[in-house]
Amino acid sequence: MNSKKPTTTTARPDHGSGLRFAFYGRTSTTRHQDRVSSQGWQRDMADELVGGHGQVVATYFDVGTSRRVPWRQRPQAAQLMTETSSPESAIDAIVVGEYERAFTCTQFATLYSWSNRHGIQLWLPETAGPVDLSNRDHRALMSLLATQSQREVLRARHRVLAAMHNQATQQGRYLGGRPPYGYQLVDAGPHPNPTDARWGRRLQRLAPDPRTAPHVAWIFRQRLAGHSVASIARHRNDRGVPCPSSADPDRNRHRTRGAWTLRTVAVILANPRYTGRQTWNRRATDTRGPAATPALSGKAAHLALVTEQDFIAAQQIRAARPAHDGRTRRFARAGLIHCGVCDRRLDSHWNHGRATYRRRHGYNSTQCAGQSRPKTLYIREDYLVEEISIRLGERGNDGHDTPELDRPRHRRVAAALRDSRKIIVYDHAGWRLKEIDSS
């Protein structure tokens, strides 16, 4: 019989005639695990299991691959399946050093069905030999091992994320990643874990970068003065100020070293790290556990480039766009009126000399023009002032119908809405006040 060339062949003592095994093992990381040690103990488990039944003639070992990845998407596991199922294969059985290193969820059942089709046995230390799912005890054991493997993944993930969340919120610890523009990394002393400290590991923290920190402070000052994000970006480009990817190219190799963009400025203005507080998990994608909520340190962890008051004020700024006549239209309730149909903000719109707000459903979307869509919402600002001011306890009516004369009162009502953390929800049936979810 012609034999194939195995991926990796390890010289072992000849056990005489018997089954020819392909060994499979896996380690998930290379940073925190030693491949040689991990492969060694898994191989020892497999050799002890097959002793007296045959010998391992080929080794397949995946490194840096999560157990959640299906076998056909793991480099070595996929190669094992391809070569073992070949008509020229010299493999009679596959032996795994430990179930939890190789499988999770339904992966074993899938591989077992595949191996049966090709006449290949699957050997596990947990069953002390080949697995036989026609055996009731083996079925129960495989179900238990699958559940245990999945539970181990979830528990490990939860513990790591919970620890990182606590380190960020309670300790203000820097947990890695590129430092934001305006900061640099400096030494923060020995690692708090005594063992890590003996190994020489040290913590890092953020500190103002003398080259770029002044630009961050300038950006916030301009925004608080009412300048648009676009004008700030243009000014930086006109003055030849290096953008973040150009200022720190070694840590931004994945970015093009071009110019300042609107998003570059917007990201800086929205980053709470500039207040001196540490953050983690700002772009949370999970919906459960500690990974579901962004973390913000309870106290300052590094020097601030902007005060918390100025940072919060900058989030409320909406730059006014000059009208055709050169005048600047200001809308007191910009961002405070939401559509009751789609829950999006109404656009500020100046019409017939008055401040109005509208929501045109279906525009700039994937809907075709002929499809049905909700009617456009339209409301005048001065129509809302009287009823809202009464409900919020704002008294008095100057009797004027001219928007410019009534503007101070509009601003007072808008300030009352913000102070009470309320927004206006408006639809074709009317309007109502809704509290903003503080969570």
Domain containing residue 69: CATH number: 3.40.50.1390
Q: How confident is the model at residue 7 (pLDDT cuts 50, 70, 90)?
A: very low
pLDDT value, residue 396: 45
- Whether 405 shows a pLDDT value over 50: the answer reads no
Domain CATH code at residue 197: 3.90.1750
Residues 72 and 115 in one domain: yes
Question: Long-range contacts of range 148-155, CB-CB < 8 Å, 24 or more positions apart?
Answer: 148/100, 149/67, 149/99, 149/100, 149/103, 149/104, 149/105, 150/104, 150/105, 152/100, 153/67, 153/68, 153/104
Residues 305 and 383 in one domain: no
Residue 66 covered by a domain: yes
Of all residues in the chain, what percent carry a pLDDT higher than 70?
A: 80
pLDDT value, residue 9: 38
Round to whole Å and give the CA distance between 40 and 48.
Answer: 12
Residue 160 covered by a domain: no
Q: How confident is the model at residue 265 (pLDDT cuts 50, 70, 90)?
A: very high
pLDDT in tens, 137-176: 999 999 899 888 888 878 878 888 888 888 888 888 888 8
Residues 276 and 378 in one domain: no
- Whether 366 shows a pLDDT value over 60: the answer reads no
Residues 308 and 191 in one domain: yes
pLDDT in tens, 51-100: 999 999 999 999 988 888 999 999 999 999 999 988 888 899 999 999 98
User: Quick one: average pLDDT of 108-134?
Assistant: 93
pLDDT value, residue 13: 39
**Final residue of a domain: which of 151, 172, 205?**
151
Domain span at residue 23 reads 19-151
Range with lowest mean pLDDT among 106-120, 249-263, 384-398: 384-398
Residues 59 and 111 in one domain: yes
Residue 324 covered by a domain: no
Six-digit token string for 115: 């191996």
- Which residues face 337 on adjacent strands? 424
Residues 217 and 138 in one domain: no
Residue 354 covered by a domain: yes
**Final residue of a domain: which of 151, 174, 195?**
151
Question: Cα 119 to the chain's mean position, in Å?
Answer: 44
Round to whole Å and give the CA distance between 221 and 157.
Answer: 41
The 3-class secondary structure across the chain, one letter per residue, is CCCCCCCECCCCCCCCCCEEEEEEEEECCCCCCCHHHHHHHHHHHHHHHHCCCEEEEEEEEEECCCCCCCHHHCHHHHHHHHHHCCCCCCCCEEEECCHHHHCCCCHHHHHHHHHHHCCCEEEEHHHCEECCCCCHHHHHHHHHHHHHHHHHHHHHHHHHHHHHHHHHHCCCCCCCCCCCCCEEEEEEEECCCHHHHHCCCEEEEEEECCCCHHHHHHHHHHHHCCCCHHHHHHHHHHCCCCCHHHHCHHHCCCCCCCCCCHHHHHHHHCCHHHHCEEEECCCCCCCCHHHHCCEEEEEECCCCCCCHHHHHHHHHCCCCCECCCCCECCCCCCCCEEECCCCCECEEEEECCEEEEEECCCCCCCCCCCCCCCCCEEEEHHHHHHHHHHHCCCCCCCCCCCHHHHHHHHHHHHHHHHHCCEEEEEECCEEEEEECCCC
The identity of residue 340, as a single letter, is: G
Six-digit token string for 210: 């003398």
Residue 422 covered by a domain: yes
How many domains, the chain?
3
Residue 427 covered by a domain: yes
Residues 346 and 312 in one domain: no
Residues 76 and 144 in one domain: yes
In sign, the C-alpha dihedral spanning 173, 175, 179, 185 is positive
Residue 7 covered by a domain: no
Residues 209 and 300 in one domain: yes
Residues 91 and 23 in one domain: yes
**Final residue of a domain: which of 151, 169, 192?**
151
Residue 306 covered by a domain: yes
Residues 209 and 274 in one domain: yes
pLDDT in tens, 287-320: 666 666 788 888 898 999 999 999 988 888 766 5
pLDDT in tens, 218-241: 999 999 988 888 889 999 999 999
**pTM, to two decimals:** 0.54
Residues 190 and 256 in one domain: yes
